[in-house]
Amino acid sequence: MVDAPITHEEKAIKSDKELKKSLGFWSLMFMAFSAIVGSGWLMAPLYSAAAVGPASIVSWVLGLVLVIFIVLAYAEIGAMLPRSGSIVRYPHYAYGGFVSFIVAWAYILGYSAVVTAEVEAIVSYLSAFFPQLMVSDVLTWYGFAVSVLFVLAFFFLNYYSVYLLGKLTEGLGWLKLVIPLIAAGLLFIYFNPGNFTSVPGGFVPMGPASLVLALPTAGILYSYFGFRQAIEWGSEVKDPQKNIPRGLIAGFLLGALVYLVLQVAFIGAINWKALSLSPGDWGNLLSTPLSSGAMVEILKLTGNPLLVAFSLVVFAMAILSPMPAGWAQLGSCGRGFYGMAASGNLPDVFLKLSRRKTPYVALLATTILSIIFMLPFPSWVTVGSYAVLMALLTYVIAGPIVAVLRRTAADAKRPFRLPAVSLLAGLAYVAAYLATYWASFSMIWFVFFVTTLGLPIFLIFTTSSSYGARRGSLTISLGIIYWVISAISTYFLLYNMVIVPYNATSGAGLPLSFSYVWPMVAYTIIEAALTAAVLYAAYRAVNEEGKEHIKAGIWYISSLFLVFVLSYVGQFGVFSNPPIPFPYDTIIAAVVAVLLFIWSVRSGVETRDLRVALSAQETGATGS
């Protein structure tokens, strides 16, 4: 009898055992909290107020409600199977290699950009002393060089010691909790309730659609999504079954509390006369001095010597605040590369640990990618919007994984159990899917394009590394053909014929005409045909396990196409009078999400790596 070949999970468990268990509850909680209250607390209150007006507080509450379902879903999985690189490993346990590859691809390309965003936030505040670092909020070559130095510093901290990283994050975390709350308390001295009720336009001046559009575009979801730091280091956590769910939930709720208080204080303290604006001119807040540092400038505008003096403390925190988020994001993204290797989607070299027991190859890859992302995204708001949407493609999977594992691993020990699992797991999926839909087509088209570009890599690499396919000239040629045709059709059909004309309207929207419909239809058909060809070739080439995994992931790739099409024809698409206006578009998207969730749960399979992971958990082989 021939022994079954060693699985990728078995290889990863050997590395998991060597990782140092350095992080306790406080370090874990403040890693989540510090990533949530990173660079966002200094600017997100301004961006959300400019996008929604006084009702931005509703957007923050809505974001809290949506994200808490995802947080609770990950709390159950994280306590059940604590793993470093968990967000890209969990899909593999529930669906196999195809879904885990797409999620991992989106994760890596999204969260490397988050490191970039945090570094750019630091440099933007340093530019107050060194103006040569940025021009019009965009990095100069000097700014680029300084940003690279920060990224390298974050790399060396991660490389040197997870324990030191956790303690530094914990120490700065207390400052990041206290100082924003003091700043908000001081602003309440100048609180004007009329800014919520009496200004022209009322409480919801931009209309109800703005309440949800602000979630992915005004820094709200960007801020909230820092919670994942509490689960991404699972193999390096002491007593993870208790500390992961506690640290995750506590860090998220604490961060949400800070933002809610800051948003109320910020809106109440706006002095329209001092800003030379007419009351209720929310959109033009971005053209005032507030845009150079919202929380710093609003304190200075009061003219109160105490508040002006405290603005210097806030400014110092503006430089320090993004640092813990930046180095934790780099470490988490490195665990993403580590998790991809653990799932067979990257070579085993990414599992290698340094003498200090850190995944140095994975960290180095993240460092390089973070530096590259500074070139197309040289400002905080653009990289933040992009990163949020890529993140949503990874968070949308949380609810389905919980529901699938309740079936395929029914007897597994669950230190934290999600109550009413079918309902709350479904809400986690619907929440993430709607947030993706609300991101607007002007962002979704690019993220859709970037995500689907990964499919040929699955065909060329993963099918041969994990499922016994031969890596020959045919699969490589098909992958290249996919990339060429996809790039050409995206540029000529979608970008030139739809996005460029839409951008020329400055957001006013295009007229609903055939000249803007047929390019989208043609592009979607081409992309669907290319995707079908790659998946068919992969399916024919792989073994029975590979076939099972590909079939288990059809729902996920279908969900990408559906949100892409729905976004085009809905309120957040490109048309001034969309075929499906708000709120009917959101209702339809929610119904589609419910149907996709049902499909996703039925698609889940009991994978071989899940059995290995559960066995290792029971015997304590992971060292958890």
Chain segment 490-537, per-residue pLDDT in tens: 999 999 999 999 999 988 999 999 999 999 999 999 999 999 999 999
d(CA 94, CA 402): 9
Instruction: Write down the pLDDT at residue 575.
Output: 96
pLDDT in tens, 420-455: 999 999 999 999 999 889 888 988 998 899 999 999
Beta-ladder partners of 139: 134
pLDDT of residue 8: 80
pLDDT at residue 384 tops 70: no
Q: Contact 609/9 with Cβ under 8 angstroms? A: yes
Provide the pLDDT for residue 2: 40
Label residues 537-573 b or e (16+ Cβ within 10 Å = b).
Answer: bbbebbeebbbbbbbbbebbbebbebbbbbbbbbbbb
Short-list 488, 508, 492, CA closest to 573: 508
Q: What is the pLDDT of residue 128?
A: 79
For residue 362, pLDDT over 60 is answered with yes
Q: How far apart are CA 193 and CA 246, in angstroms?
A: 36
The mean pLDDT value for 602-619 works out to 91
Q: Which helix (H) or strand (E) holds 138?
A: strand 138-139
pLDDT value, residue 44 = 85
Contact 116, 374 (CB under 8 A): yes
Under 8 Å between Cβ of 38 and 320: no
**pLDDT computed for residue 483 by the predictor:** 96
User: Over 50: is that where the pLDDT of 3 sits?
Assistant: no
pLDDT on residue 490? 97
53 Ramachandran zone, left/alpha/beta (phi>0; psi -120 to 50)? left
What's the rounded Cα separation, in Å, for the pair 469 and 460? 9
Q: What percent of the chain has pLDDT over 70?
A: 97
Distance, in Å, from the CA atom of 614 to the CA atom of 408, rounded to the nearest integer, reads 11
Residue that has been written with the tokens 């406080």 in this structure: 26
pLDDT grade for 218, boundaries at 50, 70 and 90: confident
Average pLDDT score over residue span 370-399: 74
Q: What's the mean pLDDT when you consider all of the chain?
A: 90
Q: How confident is the model at residue 394, as a pLDDT?
A: 82
Share of the chain above pLDDT 90, in %: 63
What pLDDT does residue 4 have? 53
At residue 622, the pLDDT reads 60
Residue pLDDT, tens place only, 92-122: 999 999 999 999 898 888 877 778 888 888 8
Question: What pLDDT was estimated at residue 562?
Answer: 97
Average pLDDT rounded to a whole number, residues 312-323: 89
Check pLDDT > 90 for residue 477: yes
Tokens, residue 276: 């030379």
Max intra-chain CA distance, the chain: 84
Element (DSSP H or E) covering residue 35: helix 25-36
Over range 349-359, report the average pLDDT: 90
Query: What's the whole-number mean pLDDT along residues 39-62?
Result: 90
Could you tell me the CA-to-CA distances from 426 to 248, 423, 529, 603, 605 in Å, in that order? 20, 5, 30, 15, 18
Answer whether residue 375 shows pLDDT above 80: no
Q: Once rounded to an integer, what is the mean pLDDT over residues 141-153? A: 92
Q: Does 611 have pLDDT greater than 60?
A: yes
**pLDDT score at 23:** 92
CA distance 10 to 259: 42
Q: In whole angstroms, give the CA distance from residue 403 to residue 598.
A: 10
Euclidean distance between CA atoms 129 and 146, whole angstroms = 13
**What sign for the dihedral angle of Cα 92, 160, 112, 227?**
positive
**Which DSSP state fits 353?**
-
Give the gyration radius of the chain's Cα atoms: 24
